[in-house]
Amino acid sequence: MHLCQHIVARDLDGENRLVYNTLTGAVDILPTHFFKDQTLNLDKIEPIKTPLQKRGYLFSSKTDENLLLKSMVRSYLPSQENKVINFMICPTYSCNLACPYCFEESVKDNHSSLKEKDFDKLIRAILSISKQNQQAKKAIILFGGEPLLPNCKQVVEKVLKLALKLNFPVGIITNGTTLDIYRELLLKYHEAVRMIQVTIDGPQKIHDSRRYYKGGRGSFNKIMGNLSLLIDDGFNIALRVNVDQNNLDSILALSRLFKSLNWHKNKNVFIHLARVSSHNKKTPSCHLISEDKLITFIKEKSKTYPELKMFDLTKAKKVLGHITSVFGDSKKLNSPSFYSCEANYGGFYLFGADGFIYACPEAMGKKDMAIGEFSPQYRLFEDKISLWQGRTILSNKQCSLCNVGPLCGGGCTYEVILNNNRINPSTCKEVKEAINNYLDKTAKEWLKKKEVAKV
């Protein structure tokens, strides 16, 4: 008999423990006498062997568990027809803002811009990747630097024209300061523009202390004015709020501002929170907020301030997505994560302003991390691609044996590569703490409300 290695057990009340099977999603309560230390005691569980087997806590052998793990990893990697390939195009690495938490440190002083002559080469690369992935859906995302700087207009128009021709929807990730300058062009290609994402980090004072122009002038008024125009034009707007310890307390005031503008009821406006992250460890961790803290903060506060429910949390969850659906803290069911992100199944190609192709926005501008180039000639670097694509929790012994592997996905590939292909132990610590804290806080409360069958 083999005990499943994907179990998280947490004490509930001294007499019972919550067991959560991260491989199958099963959640149960078992009396503590079935445990030895933190795990089930094989010598004591004979009376409950059959239900434990049924719920995936016990396998006939280690091989059986490994076979299940492998088949789950395979089934959760998107097939060709379910795959979406995002082609992210950066017309420039320059930006007119100087947000202190921006992760684009590697391109901060790099003023590369896509030349018009390179654009045909970029199209050839997109067509070639598309041909190899004929059944996959495709989309284009404009990114930067700031993709809507005034001097990028010609390239942006070419991208929008290309998207219309290929029938690829376009997303634009912009700081929003120049949307008025681009309004006419965007209206012309309205059909192609699926979504425009703009970041507002708080009410004016807070936003302006985090998202300011080079020179220090705040950007709030300009962005809010532009957003009003584009929302009235009927564009789909994703309003992103980057949260960390410094602005968490201001999001209630921000929700009231959005409410006063009726944006929370507008079906074209999607309001969401994202956690400021620091894969390159640039932002000190004391400024960051963990997933569990953010989720429980919103959950607790929204009991008194229901307007906080306007903030979608999907993008703020990296490891707690699946658990929060199991415990009903999610609007939709989230699958487990057997890999870290779309870079791991070839769902993401970033075309940098420097002519290189990258697998992740954070790697942008780091030429030694490029997975190919499109200028001067298109070629993919297979040895580099193999570091990203196909990487799952099975690619690494530590992750394949880890009890929270199916929630974590094996850690961010960019961070692993930066760390000389080793998993950073502090990442594992953060992942496990988030899971344990969430379970400790939520499980007891949830169990009080539900009828749970105790063994």
Which DSSP symbol is given to 140?
A: E
User: What DSSP string runs through 224-274?
Assistant: HHHHHHHHHTT--EEEEEEE-TTTGGGHHHHHHHHHHTTGGG-TTEEEEEE
Q: Which stretch binds ligand SF4 (CB under 6 A): 106-114, 249-257, 375-383, 411-419?
A: 411-419
Neighbours of 133 (CB within 10 A): 15
Q: Which of 28, 104, 362, 373 binds ligand SF4 (CB under 6 A)?
A: 362
Cis peptide before 145 (omega within 30 of 0): yes
Which C-beta is closer to ligand SF4: that of 264 or that of 272? 272
Question: Site residues for ligand SF4, window 291-350 (CB under 6 A)?
Answer: 340-341, 343
Least distance between ligand SF4 and beta carbon 337 (Å): 9
Which C-beta is closer to ligand SF4: that of 263 or that of 348? 348
Say how far apart CA 106 and CA 366 lie, in whole Å: 7
Q: Is 216 left (phi over 0), alpha (psi -120 to 50) or beta?
A: left
Q: Which of 52, 155, 431, 447 binds ligand SF4 (CB under 6 A)?
A: 431
Q: Is 389 in the site for ligand SF4 (CB under 6 A)?
A: no
Question: Site residues for ligand SF4, window 270-289 (CB under 6 A)?
Answer: 279
> 399-434 burial, b for 16+ CB within 10 Å, e for fewer?
bbebbbbbbbbbbbbbbbbbbeeebbeebbebbbeb
Q: Which stretch binds ligand SF4 (CB under 6 A): 55-63, 265-273, 365-373, 423-431?
A: 423-431
Question: Site residues for ligand SF4, window 390-409 (CB under 6 A)?
Answer: 393, 398-399, 402, 404-405, 408
Which C-beta is closer to ligand SF4: that of 53 or that of 419? 419
Q: What order of strands is seen across the sheet that includes strand 16-21?
A: 7-11, 16-21, 27-31
Say how far apart CA 427 and CA 163 lie, in whole Å: 38
Q: Which of 23, 156, 172, 423 binds ligand SF4 (CB under 6 A)?
A: 423
Least distance between ligand SF4 and beta carbon 262 (Å): 33
Least distance between ligand SF4 and beta carbon 97 (Å): 21
Q: Is 411 in the site for ligand SF4 (CB under 6 A)?
A: yes
Whole-Å CA distances, 194 to 190, 223, 229, 415? 8, 19, 17, 30
Least distance between ligand SF4 and beta carbon 35 (Å): 22
- Cα torsion angle, 116, 118, 120, 126, sign: negative
Residue with tokens 């125009």: 229
Least distance between ligand SF4 and beta carbon 111 (Å): 23
Question: Site residues for ligand SF4, window 127-156 (CB under 6 A)?
Answer: none
User: What DSSP string runs through 145-162?
Assistant: S-TT-GGGHHHHHHHHHH
- Show the CA angle centred on residue 378, arms to residues 352 and 161, nearest 5°: 60
Listed in sequence order, the residues at least 6 apart from 55 whose beta carbon sits closer than 8 Å to its beta carbon are 21, 24, 26, 28
Q: Is 23 in the site for ligand SF4 (CB under 6 A)?
A: no
Least distance between ligand SF4 and beta carbon 429 (Å): 8
Q: Is 373 in the site for ligand SF4 (CB under 6 A)?
A: no
Q: Is 428 in the site for ligand SF4 (CB under 6 A)?
A: yes
Which C-beta is closer to ligand SF4: that of 321 or that of 411? 411
In the complex, which residues of this chain contact ligand SF4 (CB under 6 A)?
279, 340-341, 343, 360, 362, 393, 398-399, 402, 404-405, 408, 410-414, 423, 427-428, 431
